[in-house]
Amino acid sequence: MTRMTVEQAIHQALAEEMQRDPRVLLLGEGVATKHRDLVASFGAGRVRNTPLAEAIVAGTAVGAAASGLRPVVDLLFAPFLTYAMDALVNSAGKLRALSGGQFEFPLVTLAMTGSGWCVGAQHNHNLEAMFVHAPGLKVVMPSTPADFKGLMKAAIRDADPVVFFTDLGLLHQEGEVPDGEHVVPLGRAAVRRAGRDVTFVAYAKTVGVCLAAADALASDGIDAEVIDLRTLKPLDTDSVLASIAKTGRLVVVTEASGLCGVAAEIAALAATRALHRLRAPVLRLTGPDAPAPASWVLELAAVPQPDAVADAVRRLFAEVAAVA
């Protein structure tokens, strides 16, 4: 095990996969400048800076994937993915199905998202649900350095296009990462904290928010379980339903807007497949349907924080007890 940041874990995964498979190449705005060691190891043909033209970069990657290569493209900030929607959604996500399954389209698209750096609304916008809605795309959003490495390796090896989001607030978070071959399968959630009274479901930075809230609730005798989705599509419904069956209460916490989002999907899953297990209404604690502020204070106020999450759970238990 080696202690490293999320940024270092991503870099290590890229280096290992480029060493393992000569078809892997890295394209993007400044990637050759940021990863000079990869240029030295694998050549300028496989690690290439691109113009600030997201549609062209994504279109080039789709063509490379269709030609048998395995491109990884870095489009920097999530809102810039809107420039690449045709290539990612209308081509990468659909061409495998349109070929009758005859062709694979391995493509990993990297983008940073979420609060924490005060980069403003045009650079900070949680768009993950937009890509969950796109047929053929897989969507990954880890919370730990080990999972960033393991899921990045799995995404590069996958036969389908994967949109891989990095929560900005986690970029320099440190954690233990297994050395050597470490692959985390797509579509498998992780139980970060076992509990019996209430289930938290989260991903990316809000996993840490839920863990902090769970610690606070423990002093009140409330034992919370924390599920880290890790992959938003495919979604590990079995792990979520198993936890609900155990605790009977569900709280979903995301930074993204709750409108038609991942939190809404988890709530619908509970309502349609675990209603008989629920002992309280499902809670969704999400970000607002509004552009992200550039102010640090306003940015923190706009997304769920541990104290607010813990207080919401306390109110839930108090309301249920009052009705009983």
| AA letter at 55 | A
123 annotated active-site: yes
Q: Which residues are within 8 A (CB) of 197 and not within 5 positions of it... i.e. 6 or more apart?
A: 222, 223, 224, 247, 249
What's residue 319's pLDDT? 77
Summarised one tens digit per residue, pLDDT across range 67-110 is 999 999 999 999 999 999 999 999 999 988 888 888 889 999 99
What's residue 323's pLDDT? 61
Summarised one tens digit per residue, pLDDT across range 298-315 is 988 889 999 999 999 999
**Is the separation of the CB atoms in 166 and 148 below 8 Å?**
yes
Question: Which pairs with CB-CB distance under 8 Å and at least 24 residues apart come from 86-89?
Answer: 86/55, 86/59, 87/55, 87/58, 87/59, 87/61, 87/62, 88/58, 88/62, 88/131, 88/134, 88/137, 88/161, 88/163, 89/131, 89/134, 89/137
Calculate what percentage of the chain has a pLDDT beyond 90.
85
What's residue 118's pLDDT? 87
Q: Which of 35, 123, 125, 182 is catalytic?
A: 123
CA atoms within 13 A on the CB side of 297: 0
Q: Which residues are within 8 A (CB) of 158 and not within 5 positions of it... i.e. 6 or more apart?
A: 106, 138, 186
What mean pLDDT comes out for the span 131-142? 97
Q: Give 237-253 as a DSSP string.
A: HHHHHHHHHHHS-EEEE
- Give the pTM: 0.95
Q: Give 202-230 as a DSSP string.
A: E-THHHHHHHHHHHHHHTTT--EEEEE--
What's residue 38's pLDDT? 96
What mean pLDDT comes out for the span 172-187? 94
Average pLDDT, the chain: 94
Q: How far is Cα 262 from Cα 254, in angstroms, rounded to an integer?
A: 8
